[in-house]
Amino acid sequence: MKLITKLWIALGVLILLSPLGLVLPDHFKAGSAWGEWGSDEIGKLVGYVPKGLEKLGELWKAPIPDYAFKGWEEKGLAHLSFAYIMSGIVGVALVVIAVWLLGKCLVRKNE
């Protein structure tokens, strides 16, 4: 088997295993990454919500926030894991398309 084929398969395996990145933190009761709290959370941590943080924090509404489908937040780990895998597939697809397009622009001239 060619190396490239093996690596694509490895990426597929990583996508399927990705919910570990969700389930393990849940199991060990680990919260957000440091410095990545939402405004509610930061209000609890420091006693006030910094004004600029609150305003800028709402600047962008991501279509799949935190790798979860909107409205699924309370559905439990099985649903969240499914959304996580789907996010992995969508993310990898977009990353690959973006690199492929960049590659087209970058490589063309020296061939």
Partner 1 sequence: MHIPDGYLGPATSGVFYAAMAPLWMAASRIVKKTLRAKQVPLLAIGAAFSFLIMMFNVPIPGGSTGHAVGGVLVAILLGPWAAMIAVTVALVIQALLFGDGGITAIGANCFNMAVVIPFVGYYTYVLISGKAEVNSKRRVIAAFVAGYIGINVAALLAGVEFGLQPLLCHTAEGHALYCPYGLGVAVPAMIGEHLLIFGWVEAIVTALVVKYMQKQAPELLEQEVSK
Q: Which residues here bind partner 1, judged by CB under 8 A? A: 3-4, 6-8, 11, 14-15, 17-18, 20-22, 24-25, 27-36, 39, 42, 46, 48, 50-57, 59-67, 84, 87-88, 90-92, 94-96, 98-100, 102-103, 105-107, 109-111
Cβ distance to partner 1 smaller for residue 2 or 74: 2
Q: CA 88, CA 9: separation in Å to the nearest integer?
A: 14
Q: Where are the beta strands (DSSP E) in 20-95?
A: none
Cβ distance to partner 1 smaller for residue 65 or 72: 65
Write down the least CB distance from residue 76 to partner 1, Å. Answer: 18
Dihedral sign of CA atoms 77, 68, 91, 28 in order = negative
- Six-digit token pair at 28? 């060990």
Write down the least CB distance from residue 9 to partner 1, Å. Answer: 11
Residue 41 has phi, psi (to 5 degrees) of -65, -40
Nearest to 97 by CA among 110, 53, 89: 89
Write down the least CB distance from residue 110 to partner 1, Å. Answer: 7
